[in-house]
Amino acid sequence: MCGIAGVIHRDGEADIGQEMVQMLQAMKHRGPDSTGYALYAPPTEGIVIRFKLADANDARDFEFGERLERHRNEVEARLGKIGATVERMEGDTEYAFRARVRYTGDIKALADYLEDVPGCEVLSIGTSLEIVKDIGDAETVAGMYHLGGFRGTHAIGHVRMATESDVDISGAHPYWAYPFSDVAVVHNGQLTNYFHWKRRLERSGHRFQSECDSEIIAVYLAEKMAAGASLESAMKQSLDDLDGVFTYVAVTSDSLGVAKDEMAAKPLVLFESENLVVLASEEMAIRAIIDHEIDTYDPYEGQVLVWSR
């Protein structure tokens, strides 16, 4: 089933970490397997890299801790070798890390070099984007990664009921649009031409972190935008190119958009005011952060809506 949610404040910063926790926790029944957040802080000069070196449910052998330490040091060393200056590196869990670095080189080269470290998976790279995802409900994951105090301008989130790939961090949403910075996607539905698009994008040089069909959307959109398309036009084109039933939310450093397939088979409810847009698979998630009476509506089939800050 899965649940998706998003919020964009068009007039400044807000407690988007806490807002997303409340919205996603209200939809826990739609997906108890894992929870993920893509949070956008105001852009900075440096970049933030979120990466993991293992999964929460990996077997803990006798060398687990030592191996993680070795691989973490290797990541830090490689950052130096590729020309990135590490300003800060911290671990929220024993296997997931956040690095703030100064780097002006090629993002793909950076991501590929880091992912060559055994067990390393880059979850996001961006000047404002940070993707956090792990096994557990919204409050559990937010507690592990200290997201309650995160302030920013917009965010998306996902609660997952695993159907087509494993219950692990790689299978959790949101997906970063590797190798393009600051683009992320959450998705509810199934893509039936997944393998077609995966092969096509792999032939173009993209790699995929998971076996999950949703990851296709993120890379598909980012490739279109890298070729000059706007987020809105890329999303409209996706309605023709992607088969299946889906509602997805895509985000960049300054915009948030939603697309619904031609069959309107997956739900989404929207609240829109001059300075705030909130959307979710269920209205009760929207009402988790808005305490007064509001008017909401459902987008129609084949509809693409984009809001910018």
> Is position 300 an interface residue for other proteins (rule: CB under 8 A)?
yes
> Is position 55 an interface residue for other proteins (rule: CB under 8 A)?
no
Q: Which listed range, 45-53, 110-118, 194-202, 256-264, lies at the site for other proteins (CB under 8 A)?
A: 256-264
**Which of 53, 193, 54, 41 shows the shortest CA–CA distance to 130?**
41
> Is position 261 an interface residue for other proteins (rule: CB under 8 A)?
no
Which amino acid type is present at position 91? Answer: G
The tokens for 122 are 């880059």
Contact by Cβ (8 Å): 181, 125 = yes
Shortest Cβ distance from residue 168 to other proteins (Å)? 17
Shortest Cβ distance from residue 32 to other proteins (Å)? 5
Output 232 or 283, the one with its CB closest to other proteins: 283
> Is position 133 an interface residue for other proteins (rule: CB under 8 A)?
no
For other proteins, the binding residue among 10, 15, 18, 28 (CB under 8 A) is 28
Output 94 or 283, the one with its CB closest to other proteins: 283
> Is position 301 an interface residue for other proteins (rule: CB under 8 A)?
yes
Output 1 or 82, the one with its CB closest to other proteins: 1
Handedness of CA 10, 15, 20, 22 (dihedral sign): negative
CA distance 31 to 78: 37
CA distance 225 to 229: 4
> Is position 298 an interface residue for other proteins (rule: CB under 8 A)?
yes
Which amino acid type is present at position 185? Answer: V
Shortest Cβ distance from residue 293 to other proteins (Å)? 7
> Is position 245 an interface residue for other proteins (rule: CB under 8 A)?
no
> Is position 267 an interface residue for other proteins (rule: CB under 8 A)?
yes
**Per 3-state DSSP, what percentage of the chain is helix, strand, and coil (rounded to 5)?**
30, 30, 40
> Is position 243 an interface residue for other proteins (rule: CB under 8 A)?
no
**DSSP-assigned letters across all residues of 83-104:** TPEEEEEEESSSSEEEEEEE--
> Is position 283 an interface residue for other proteins (rule: CB under 8 A)?
yes
Q: What counts of helices (H) and strands (E) characterise the chain?
A: 8, 15
The tokens for 242 are 């992607």
Q: Which spans of this chain sit near other proteins (rule: CB under 8 A)?
A: 28-29, 32, 137, 262-264, 267, 269, 282-284, 286-287, 293, 295-298, 300-301
